Structure 1
C-alpha cells in the first residue's frame, strides 16, 4: 500500500524542456510515474534560453514575481514561471533570471568549451530560490528530492541557515547521484556568495574538497538519504577513487543511508511495437519484421545484407569511459570476424580519427556515423542483432535497456547498471539475456563478442534468447515503486 507524500523534485535539466544527458530523461519520466502512484509532485528547474515559452505554455506565477533572493552581499530579483510536463498534470516551476540562464548552453561556455565561470552563483541562486518560493507558495513538501551537484546546497541550507525555520522543520531530503564524476567544486569564495558562515569551510570539513567548496560533497554530507541509479554502482562508488572520485570515504561512512535504484525506460518512446521512427514495428512474435528493419538499416548505411551475418550496433559518446579504448585495441581482430559493425556517436577526436581510418580500411564491414541522430538511433536498436556496450563504468545505462526491449542482445561489461540489468547467457541452461565479461580487458571483450556470434549461428537458441530479452520489464513504474519505499523510510525517520 502506497503512502502518498508530497515531493519537491529539483533538477538542473528536465526532458523535454532542456537536456544534455540522462539526468533530464530521469527528471522527465520518474515524476510522471510517481504521480501515477498517488504522490503529489512538483518540479523546479532553471528557465534556459533553449526553452520555448510558447510551445510549452509557460505562465507567470503572480505571487512569485520579483522575488528578492540574497546572493552574497546583494539581493537579486527573480521571477518564477510555471508549466506542465507535456500530456501530464505534473507541474514544473522555472527560475527565470536572464543574466544567469539566458545563454546558449546549460553549463559550458560554447566559446571557451569550459564551464561557465559563474556556475557557482547560478546554482546558489537556483537552490536558494527553491526554498524561498516554497514559503511564498505556502506549500510544505514532505521531501525535497535533489539531483546531482547543482542541487547539493539544499540539504546544507536546511541544516544550517534554515535550521531554525519552523516552515522546514519536518522536511526531509533525498540526494540522488546520477554521475559522481560531476562534482561542482568551486573556489572558497562561493561560501560567502552562498551566505553561509565561513566557519563551515576548513580542511576536511563537510563542504571542503581539496581546497574547493564542493556542492556535491555538501549534498552527500547533509542529505537525510542518498541514492544512486543502480545497486551495483552504489557499491562501486564506495570502493575507491576509480569509481568514487574522492567521495568514497563519505559514502562508506554513510553506507546505511545509501541506496541503489535502477533507472527505468519510457516504453512509450522506446519500444518496437510503438516506435514511430522505425519502418517496421514489431513484437516478440513478429521477429521477421525485426529482420526487415535490419535490411533497411544496412541499406541506409551502405552495408550488404546477409541474414546469417550478425550486425553489431553501438550508440555512444566516444570516450574511454565507454570502453572505446578496449574496442580500439581489438578492432582489427573484430573486423576479421563474420559480422558487420555500425557505430553512431561523437566524442574524443582521437576516436573520430581512429574510426574514420577503420571505415576506410574495412568499407564492407563497418559503417561509422560521427553525429547525433535520434531517428537513426532508434533504427540501430531495432535493426541490429547485438549491441556493444563495454563501459569502464556505467552508473545505470539506458541503451542496454532499450536493446533488451528491441531484442537486440547486449554485449556488456559487468559494471554499474549493466551488471544489474543484463544476465550472462548460459549455454547449458540456455538462460540469460546477453553476453557479459567481467574484467576491463580487451581479450575478454573479444571473447564475449565471439560467444555472441557462436550463439547467433544457432537459430532456435538465438530466437529464444531474443524473446527472453524482450520480456524484461524495466519500466519507470518499477523504479517509482522503489523510490516510494525510500520516501517511506524518510517519512518514518521523521517520526522517530
Structure 2
C-alpha cells in the first residue's frame, strides 16, 4: 500500500510541538510493517538543508504567489524514508518559526503557503508530478495540510483515499473569506459550507468535511471534540461524521526516548538499575544552580507555556511547592504573560526555580531524566507525549484527566496502588488549589522510597511504542 503523509514539520528538522515527533515516527513505523510510505513537507530552510540525496523532480510556476516552485525528492536523515520537499523560496525560505514572522504574528500569506502544501499533495495523487509513484492514501496532518483532502475532492476522477488527523482542534487554520480567490477552490453552495466558518475560511473544517476518515490522536480526545466544551465550534460537524471519526493514541519513538541509551544523559539507567536516575538528578540540580539534595522533590514542566497547558495553574501552585522544599525547572515558550511570570518566579527564587525559554532538545532529555515529577495540568490535551516520555524515564506524571492524559495515566489512588495498576497522579478541576493538593499527595508518597520506586518501575515497563498505533492506522487505511 502506497501512503503519502503531508505535514508542516518533522523531527528533528523543524519542530514546534508533538506534531513533528508523530510525523517522524509514524511513517517509519508503517514502513516497518511493509507499507510504501513517503512524506511531503514544505521547504523550510532547515528541511531543505536536512534532506539528503535530494534531486529535482519537476519545476512549476507561477503558483500561489511564487514565481517558481521546485519539487525535490530525497531521504529523511534519520529514517531514510523518501520525502518530497516543496522548494518555494518566496513562500518558505524564512528564518524563525514556520508560522510566525519576527513580530510574533502569523505570516500574512500563510493561506498561500499551506494551500500549496495541500495542492502539491493532490497533484502527487494524480500522478502528474512523479510518474514513478502515486499514493493510494493521502494522510494529512493538522490544519496546515487541511486543503489536501479538499483539492483531491475537486478531482472526481481520483479514487485516492484520504485520512485527516486532528492533532489540536484549537488551531483551525482561519483566514479571511475573500482569500478563497487565492486558493483555486469553489466557494458557493455545498463547497462554501465545507470551507466557510463564521465568516472565515477554515482549513481545518475543509479537511473534516472532505476526508474519507478523520481521526484524533487519542480515543478520549475523539469523544471530547464532539462536545461544545472541546469542539471549538466544529463539534456539530464532528458528530455528523459518526463512525468515520475515531481516535488512535500517539506512540513514542523509543529509539529517541530511552534512558538506557539516551546520549544526552549524564548516566544511563533502566528500571532494574535506577541508581543512574539519582545521578542524573544531582547533575541536573548542579546545572540549574540548585542545592544538591537527592531527596528534595524536583518537579518539571516541559511544555508550551500557555493557559491551554495549564501553566497558570502551575504558577498558582508554586508557593506550595516551594513551601514543601520542592524545586521547579521549566522549559518551553508561549504566551508572554506566562513567560514573564515564570521569569519573575526564577528571579525571586533562583535556588529553587529555573526557567529556560525556547527549545533545547538535549536539555529536555536531561530534565526528563533528572526530575521526580512531570506536571501536565492541561485544560485540554489531544494526546500529550511528554507524559509518555516521563513514564519511560521513571519520572512520575501528574496530569489533568483530559484527552490522551486520561487514556495513559492511572491515578495513584489507594485502590490502584493496591492493585498494582497506578502509574501517576490525576486530578479533575482546573484549579491551582486542586493541583497543589495532588502535588502534596505525590510528595507524601515520595517519602516512601519503596512505594515510589514501584510506581517508577510500573511506568517504565509500559509499552507505548508505535507498533500498536501503526497497526491501527494500517487497518484504517485498508478500510477505505
**TM-score per shorter chain, which class?**
over 0.9
1:295 Cα shift? 1.0
Q: Distance in 2 between matches of 1:299 and 1:280?
A: 14
Cα shift readout 1:278-298 (whole Å, capped 9, x = no counterpart)? 110000011111111111111
Q: Is the 8 A contact 2:72 2:85 kept in 1?
A: yes
What does residue range 199-348 of structure 1 map to in structure 2 within 5 Å? 199-200=188-189, 205-240=193-228, 242-348=229-335
Q: Distance in 2 between matches of 1:154 and 1:370?
A: 34
| 3-state secondary structure, aligned to 2:31 | helix
Partner of 1:447: 437
Q: Is the 8 A contact 1:232 1:420 kept in 2?
A: yes
CA change 1:119–1:386 in 2 (3 A) is: same
Q: For 1:176, which of 153, 165, 186 is the aligned residue?
A: 165
Q: Distance in 2 between matches of 1:34 and 1:476?
A: 9
Partner of 1:57: 52
Q: For 2:457, which of 454, 461, 467 is the aligned residue?
A: 467
1:34 Cα shift? 0.3
Partner of 1:349: 336
Q: Distance in 2 between matches of 1:405 and 1:142?
A: 36
1:127 Cα shift? 1.8
Q: Distance in 2 between matches of 1:469 and 1:108?
A: 35
Q: Is the 8 A contact 2:187 2:195 kept in 1?
A: no
CA change 1:478–1:280 in 2 (3 A) is: same
1:60 Cα shift? 2.4
Structure 2: gaps spanning 5 or more residues: none
Q: For 2:114, which of 123, 137, 162 is the aligned residue?
A: 123
Partner of 1:186: 175
Q: Distance in 1 between matches of 2:256 and 2:187?
A: 48
Q: Distance in 2 between matches of 1:460 and 1:398?
A: 27
| 3-state secondary structure, aligned to 2:107 | coil
Q: Distance in 1 between matches of 2:115 and 2:301?
A: 38
Q: Is the 8 A contact 1:339 1:365 kept in 2?
A: yes
Q: For 1:83, which of 74, 79, 92 is the aligned residue?
A: 74
Aligned length: 474
1:367 Cα shift? 2.8
Structure 1: gaps spanning 5 or more residues: 491-496
Partner of 2:386: 399
Q: Is the 8 A contact 2:66 2:90 kept in 1?
A: no
Partner of 1:434: 424
Partner of 1:95: 86
Partner of 2:2: 6
Q: TM-score, normalised by structure 2?
A: 0.93
Partner of 1:493: none
Q: Distance in 2 between matches of 1:9 and 1:235?
A: 24
My pick for the range that moved more, 35-44 or 149-158, is: 149-158
What does residue range 28-39 of structure 1 map to in structure 2 within 5 Å? 28-39=24-35
Q: Distance in 1 between matches of 2:378 and 2:148?
A: 32
Q: For 1:21, which of 14, 17, 24 is the aligned residue?
A: 17
Cα shift readout 1:127-174 (whole Å, capped 9, x = no counterpart)? 2222224423233322110111122222222222x11x2xx22x1100
Please give the root-mean-square deviation of Cα atoms over the aligned residues, in Å.
2.1
1:58 Cα shift? 4.4
Q: TM-score, normalised by structure 1?
A: 0.90
Partner of 2:146: 152
